Structure 1
Amino acid sequence: MTSTIGRAIPRVEARDKVTGRAVYTADVAIPGLTHAVLVQSDIASGRVREESLLAAAAVAGAAPGVLHVITPLNCPTLKPPPSDMSDDMPLERRPPLSDLTVQYVGQHMAVVVADTLENASYAASLMRLDYDEHPAVLTADEVRAGGGRVDEGDGPIRHGLYWPDHFVKLEHEKLQDRRGPQDAPPGVEVSARFTTGINTHYPLELSATIAEWDGAQLTVHDTTRWIAGERRALASYLDMPEDDIRILAPLVGGAFGSKNFLWMHVALCAVAAREVQRPVKLVLTRHQMLTSTGHRPRTDQHVALVADNDGAIASTEHHTLTETSTVAHFCEPVGLSARFLYRSARMVVSHQVARINMATPCFMRGPGEAPGLFALEVAMDELAYQTGIDPVELRIRNDVDVDQPSGRPFAGRHLRQCYEIGAERFGWSERPMTPRSMRRRGVRVGWGTATASYAGRRMPASCRVTTFVDGTVEFASATHEIGTGVRTVMSQIAADAAGLPLSRVTFASGDSWFATAPYSGASQTTASVGSAVHAAAREWRSRVDGGASDPADLSFTVSTGGVDDAGPLSQSFGAHFCEVEVDEQIGRIAITRWVAVMDCGRVLNPTLARSQVVGGIVFGLGMALMESAPYDPRTARPIGEYYVPTHADVPAFDIDFIDTPDSALTEIGVRGIGEIGACGVPAAVGNALFHATGRRLRDLPITLEHLMIPFDEENADD
């Protein structure tokens, strides 16, 4: 039988999606459904007045169709989440509606439940709240300068600065690191400050939740990418057994990190449904998602590189100041790539986090690496010009085959190949080193490059196999179809390992009643769940070959473990090549051509893999050139619009893969591919813009104001 692995199999749910039959959370129809709408704070710091809360709730409660109004004054007591989840994840330590204090704009202050969405929305609009407003601390610089209150210790609300040690408690993702000589050696030095703005995920599907109680049993339909984690967190908030909760997430329409956790509105929806004894549906508005489902926080980075005249790096420093809320932990792990990407005898990496009065940030596509590689890779481009070495050659000269912090070899590192193949396909040898030396149709042209990298991750997962009398076999896991083709590649893995035609195999996901799976993030789903599916399919084939034919004997569950912390380190790499055109008269930037070569292990489905990389690059283009959530700097209220790339902003793509299996991470040889496409993209754009204009831009996003010719330069040379 011909293997399905490596073939461009169309997505199994494609027809349903393009014909509108696909069911997302907000599409689920339940008899007797009621609707909830959130009332949110419009101040950043203070305390809501109890009398105004009582009066506003009374007004809303008297509105047509209103069934119940929940406020901090009548909300059933919710327990805090498990400490390990709030310590490692951006899960808010303080349960929603648990006190009268306000910690950020957009904090939930009340929930209005009514018979229709229109009635709930109207009643919510009637709630006018009065506050005793306190001075808000809105930037990390204010905290570092001594503004605001000092840290209160281990309470749910905390202030001040702190130095987190690990990203997700893995040694190779340590956030504070000092190795080698204490002082930087002499040599050619680049030292610069870089900043990145607030990015928001802006997925096409709004976050939606439907909660329904049947006695003590709770069913939650949610737009989540972590069924198991949401179930555990909800059980903690509601003080009930996990086994009494069922989470359903049939399809998730994008997320980019924003749906990896349980957010506060989900718990409130469950509470509302219990209070009114009817199913409740709660859908966030686009505006509410700016403050209710996370964002990528601002970063302030300092990178210093020292090299000898031949370009050999002798010292690397990467220091980061970033932000989180006063009620949750999160650190954007910006400096991780600096610890291993290039050979360096001395490395100093640090991360400092300021607690401010803004909504809780969270993981966003390429967390850490996307903003961190912007700074590191632009600094590498600067070093190339300081030493007079071609930017590609400089990176190749400093390539390394072991993880320097641990000394562990990489399971497969083909970065040199990525650069060699990419440079050939792009025509890099024709690039003049001198900035402002390329023109086309009266505008400047520039070529830039940057390295992409993202960790290869794998966590424990399970797969349930059910064999039916008609000969079809269902593989099922409580993982998630987030638009990346999970159901398709899992079907391919199962069919290949079981020796079955694809027509006899199905893969089911999105239900906590299925075998357990990790969150769908950090580019780990294919490696984690795919390993369980592969093992289950191999076991199925073994039983068939052993003579089993009864469907009952061919129905079982298989579990697999996580990554081996003692073996070779799995890391994906890639090389981006970018061409830009810049019209300096009007500041117009056009990305015209892009070549990317990726080393992501074995490629299971080239169409889906290419789509993931292209999507990641477009994501990175938005980060580079337009995406920055606008907030009033005095009040922290969201203002204006949030711009994202459209089809008109997309260049011609040439995407290639090394396609070498990583057998150290998984038996099927795969590593994740969802994150790496965005990593390095803003740097490649910034480096191309420098080549085109001679302007070194170190703050994101890069806008037209950065590139327009000042009036006194309009008649300057060429």
Structure 2
Amino acid sequence: MNESVGRPVSRVEGADKVTGRARYTADTPVDGVTFAALVQSEIPHGSVTAESVAAAAALAATAPGVLHVLTPLNCPALHVLPEELTWDLPLERRPPLSDLSVQHVGQHLAMVVADTPENAAHAASLMSFDYERAPASLSAAQVQADPPVADDGHGAVRHGAYRPDHFVKLTEEKLQDRRGPEVEPQGIRVEATYTTPENAHYPIELSATIAQWDGDTLVVHDSTRWITGERRALAAWLGIPEDRIRILSPLVGGAFGSKSFLWMHVVLCAVAARAVRRPVKLVLTRNQMFTSTGHRPPTEQRISLVADDTGALASTEHHTLTETSTVAHFCEPTGLSTRFLYRSPRLEVSHTVARINAPTPCFMRGPGEAPGLFALEVAMDELAEATNRDPLQLRLAHVTDHDQTNGRPWSAADLAGCYLAGARRFGWENRPMMPRTLSRNGVQVGWGMATATYPGRRMPAGCRVQTLRDGRVRFSAATHEIGTGVRTVMAQVASDASGLPLDRVSFDSGDSAFPDAPYSGASQTTATVGSAVFAAAREWKRRLGGRTLAAEGVSAELADELSFTVTSDGAPDGDAASQSFGAHFCEVEVDEALGRATVTRWVAVMDCGRVLNPKLAANQVMGGITFGVGMALLEQVPHDPHTAQPLGEYYVPTHADRPHFDISFLERPDYALDPIGVRGIGEIGTCGVSAAIANAIHHATGKRLRALPITLEALLEPSGPEQEGVLRP
């Protein structure tokens, strides 16, 4: 029997990636290509004068090699997106270059097209504008404190604060929720405010677009992980049918959320390509990615936990203040996990979003769960300390066997098993309760832990099967290879379900001409596209019947019979709820003389359903943890409080920051979610990581730090009782 699933198969594109043969958007050769450069706003709010725009465009047009200068004065009128694409998704309501107003620093004000990238950049550098400045809202606190500002009257530009009902299209994931008594009960109370800063996605692959027209058909090469959604939004902006647009994205490097949606530069490339009647290529600069492709917005989270004398939770409150732009909706859903994670008779969760003059935020790996679990899991450690409980034992006592938001049991979940297995592998039983107890080589040592969780999701998808005359079989879907091994795992699923050897099967993605699939996000691709591939492979095997494929190939008639398309539905309606869980345990060393925290050891145990490829699954969790290490200790985008310009550099973890990893999985196949028993692994690795590090730092130093990132200044001064013991190397 063929058994590809469960094997640590290497990525099918791995050799191409490490040898440089892998082709990303910016590597795509296109005949006759021209090059674009963006000109961006330098102020957060106001407008540019028409006279200065005209003068700047005229000056740029005289520069060497310039073919076209696109500005608000000559940009063809673009359509407004339908409300269904903007009311609960971070797609902008205001078309690019639609007027002379400015809503944030970095807003696109012009695009220059030239014969070389150097000429385009030079011409763009010549363009400067006269601004008429207007008061700017630069923080959520300012929006709440200032008098209300009137909207533009058309709904495209909005001000003030609001409370959204749910997270994106997931109406059951309520952003305002409560249960139990109205009044908070008496008891042992822990209340604190936790803050997370603006984070940048900072992928290795810069966002790039190549747009070209073939008659009235638009072909776009783009670094995107939602080719079918981009096609839909681009068709709406341009006012043309979707079937006249093809999106190609063979490989995506570093998605993290920044490549989930159609960004304004893609639309402008399409407009410019039509104007010059040649393909137009744009590669964003590293600086432009901070203002042009989304970010994780800052959050301020107030958590209140009330427990009785035994440590049992009686009440949980989690209130979040976050930010979005004035031209699009996005809410960082930090409180979603709080609604169900720990047994709590009383619950109150709220999210308030302030519209500020800043670029539009969007999903970032572990949206909501990553910053939300930082706050909740540090608060749980504070409650453990207040009730004199071990942090692990407190969490074990509050594990639930059902989703508290709807009463449905978990379909296949074992959070307690993750806790116990992780504690055993880490040696948690040797952890002293008192902070500042452990040291090694003259530095403080601390042990911390936190819970990880992320939803199990599945959406409809299609899969095409093409049987070739030489007997090879190609499966395809309009999904994406974002570096997680999608093509590899899909080939493994197809191999097992069809009975074909793995070397006779391939999986193609990255083309909107393939059968429809959703965005590669929300940790759903394996469950979603895998279900379609599984159904297609089973149908292929059924059609083959008792026949065998001859070594010399197959007839044209048989190849046609074995070539078809199938579709797979979304998650089935049932009595059970699908949710992934995990437990993180970490060790840190804190050198208080230098203000340096180093994560030295990490144990993670995950319950994510069936594991199709243990090598790729472990790599995903390692990547997620590394992502969380950056979030905890390094990453933030500071801004000048007066100009709103980004300041300084952006630091991310390197291999030198990598702890020793011990990653394992509890295999609990979730057949209630999909026929292959999987739940997504992509984002759960990040969830809870920053809290585990903050809790370990508290154990090392006695300092309870509630703001990310944990900086050098926060670590320099020792606090708490003197060390009482030594942990040997």
Using structure 1 for the length normalisation, give the TM-score: 0.98
Identify which of 554, 569, 573 aligns with 2:581: 573
Task: Tell me by how many angstroms 1:185 deviates.
Answer: 1.1
Alpha-carbon separation, structure 2, partners of 1:341 and 1:571: 10
Secondary structure of 2:416's partner?
Answer: helix
Encode CA deviations 1:77-99: one digit per residue, 9 max, x unaligned: 10012321111211111010001
Alpha-carbon separation, structure 2, partners of 1:210 and 1:314: 56
Encode CA deviations 1:294-315: one digit per residue, 9 max, x unaligned: 0000000000111111111110
Instruction: Kindly indicate whether the alpha-carbon contact (under 8 Å) linking 2:90 and 2:361 is maintained by their aligned counterparts in 1.
Output: yes
Matched, 1:542 2:550: no
Task: Tell me by how many angstroms 1:41 deviates.
Answer: 0.3
Task: Tell me by how many angstroms 1:564 deviates.
Answer: 2.6
Matched, 1:696 2:704: yes
Structure 1 residues 401 and 503: alpha-carbon distance in aligned structure 2, compared to 1, 3 A threshold: same
Alpha-carbon separation, structure 2, partners of 1:716 and 1:334: 36
Instruction: Kindly indicate whether the alpha-carbon contact (under 8 Å) linking 2:190 and 2:305 is maintained by their aligned counterparts in 1.
Output: yes
Instruction: Kindly indicate whether the alpha-carbon contact (under 8 Å) linking 2:2 and 2:495 is maintained by their aligned counterparts in 1.
Output: no
Encode CA deviations 1:551-596: one digit per residue, 9 max, x unaligned: 1010000001111344311110000001001111111111010000
Where does residue 592 of structure 1 map in the other structure?
A: 600
Encode CA deviations 1:10-47: one digit per residue, 9 max, x unaligned: 11011111111111000001111000000000100000
Instruction: Kindly indicate whether the alpha-carbon contact (under 8 Å) linking 2:2 and 2:499 is maintained by their aligned counterparts in 1.
Output: no
**Alignment-mate amino acid for residue 649 of structure 2:** E
Where does residue 196 of structure 1 map in the other structure?
A: 196
**Alignment-mate amino acid for residue 350 of structure 2:** S
Equivalent residue runs for 1:324-335 within 5 Å: 324-335=324-335
Where does residue 650 of structure 2 map in the other structure?
A: 642
Identify which of 687, 697, 711 aligns with 1:679: 687
Equivalent residue runs for 1:210-609 within 5 Å: 210-545=210-545, 550-609=558-617
Encode CA deviations 1:210-267: one digit per residue, 9 max, x unaligned: 0010110110000000000000000001100100000000100111000000000000
Instruction: Kindly indicate whether the alpha-carbon contact (under 8 Å) linking 1:322 and 1:354 is maintained by their aligned counterparts in 2.
Output: yes
Alpha-carbon separation, structure 1, partners of 2:581 and 2:252: 27
Encode CA deviations 1:465-484: one digit per residue, 9 max, x unaligned: 00011100000001000000
Alpha-carbon separation, structure 2, partners of 1:255 and 1:678: 14
Task: Tell me by how many angstroms 1:633 deviates.
Answer: 1.4
Identify which of 710, 713, 716 aligns with 1:705: 713
Equivalent residue runs for 1:164-175 within 5 Å: 164-175=164-175
Alpha-carbon separation, structure 2, partners of 1:678 and 1:348: 25
Secondary structure of 2:166's partner?
Answer: coil
Encode CA deviations 1:489-514: one digit per residue, 9 max, x unaligned: 00000000000000100100000111
Identity %: 67
Identify which of 605, 610, 613 aligns with 2:621: 613
Instruction: Kindly indicate whether the alpha-carbon contact (under 8 Å) linking 1:306 and 1:313 is maintained by their aligned counterparts in 2.
Output: yes
Task: Tell me by how many angstroms 1:171 deviates.
Answer: 4.3
Alpha-carbon separation, structure 1, partners of 2:26 and 2:358: 28
Runs of 4+ off more than 2 Å: 150-154, 168-172, 546-549, 564-567, 713-718
Instruction: Kindly indicate whether the alpha-carbon contact (under 8 Å) linking 1:567 and 1:664 is maintained by their aligned counterparts in 2.
Output: no
Alpha-carbon separation, structure 1, partners of 2:671 and 2:722: 57
Instruction: Kindly indicate whether the alpha-carbon contact (under 8 Å) linking 1:172 and 1:406 is maintained by their aligned counterparts in 2.
Output: no
Equivalent residue runs for 1:177-188 within 5 Å: 177-188=177-188
**Alignment-mate amino acid for residue 347 of structure 2:** M
Task: Tell me by how many angstroms 1:135 deviates.
Answer: 1.2
Task: Tell me by how many angstroms 1:368 deviates.
Answer: 0.1
Task: Tell me by how many angstroms 1:2 deviates.
Answer: 3.5
Task: Tell me by how many angstroms 1:151 deviates.
Answer: 4.7
**Alignment-mate amino acid for residue 551 of structure 1:** A
Alpha-carbon separation, structure 2, partners of 1:98 and 1:565: 44
Where does residue 57 of structure 2 map in the other structure?
A: 57
Alpha-carbon separation, structure 2, partners of 1:496 and 1:143: 56
Task: Tell me by how many angstroms 1:356 deviates.
Answer: 0.1
Where does residue 625 of structure 1 map in the other structure?
A: 633
Structure 1 residues 609 and 246: alpha-carbon distance in aligned structure 2, compared to 1, 3 A threshold: same
Secondary structure of 1:173's partner?
Answer: strand
Instruction: Kindly indicate whether the alpha-carbon contact (under 8 Å) linking 1:493 and 1:530 is maintained by their aligned counterparts in 2.
Output: yes
Instruction: Kindly indicate whether the alpha-carbon contact (under 8 Å) linking 2:2 and 2:500 is maintained by their aligned counterparts in 1.
Output: no
Q: Calculate the aligned-residue CA RMSD, in Å.
A: 1.3
Instruction: Kindly indicate whether the alpha-carbon contact (under 8 Å) linking 1:137 and 1:147 is maintained by their aligned counterparts in 2.
Output: no
Equivalent residue runs for 1:649-688 within 5 Å: 649-688=657-696
Alpha-carbon separation, structure 2, partners of 1:527 and 1:148: 45
Where does residue 19 of structure 1 map in the other structure?
A: 19
Alpha-carbon separation, structure 2, partners of 1:45 and 1:662: 50
Alpha-carbon separation, structure 1, partners of 2:126 and 2:168: 43
Can you give the 5+ residue segments of structure 1 that lack an aligned partner in the other structure? none
Can you give the 5+ residue segments of structure 2 that lack an aligned partner in the other structure? 549-553, 725-729
Secondary structure of 1:698's partner?
Answer: coil
Alpha-carbon separation, structure 1, partners of 2:511 and 2:447: 47
Instruction: Kindly indicate whether the alpha-carbon contact (under 8 Å) linking 1:297 and 1:332 is maintained by their aligned counterparts in 2.
Output: yes
Alpha-carbon separation, structure 2, partners of 1:10 and 1:376: 37
Instruction: Kindly indicate whether the alpha-carbon contact (under 8 Å) linking 2:574 and 2:672 is maintained by their aligned counterparts in 1.
Output: no
More off after superposition, 367-376 vs 310-319: 310-319
Instruction: Kindly indicate whether the alpha-carbon contact (under 8 Å) linking 2:436 and 2:720 is maintained by their aligned counterparts in 1.
Output: no
**Alignment-mate amino acid for residue 181 of structure 1:** P
Alpha-carbon separation, structure 1, partners of 2:393 and 2:2: 42
Task: Tell me by how many angstroms 1:198 deviates.
Answer: 0.3
Alpha-carbon separation, structure 2, partners of 1:372 and 1:123: 44
Secondary structure of 1:677's partner?
Answer: coil
**Alignment-mate amino acid for residue 533 of structure 1:** V
Secondary structure of 1:268's partner?
Answer: helix
**Alignment-mate amino acid for residue 598 of structure 1:** M
Alpha-carbon separation, structure 1, partners of 2:621 and 2:547: 43
Encode CA deviations 1:377-430: one digit per residue, 9 max, x unaligned: 000000001111110010010000111110111112211000000000000000
Alpha-carbon separation, structure 2, partners of 1:171 and 1:59: 51
Alpha-carbon separation, structure 2, partners of 1:30 and 1:702: 46
Alpha-carbon separation, structure 1, partners of 2:316 and 2:647: 38
Alpha-carbon separation, structure 2, partners of 1:50 and 1:523: 46
Secondary structure of 1:537's partner?
Answer: helix
Secondary structure of 1:232's partner?
Answer: helix
Alpha-carbon separation, structure 2, partners of 1:612 and 1:531: 20
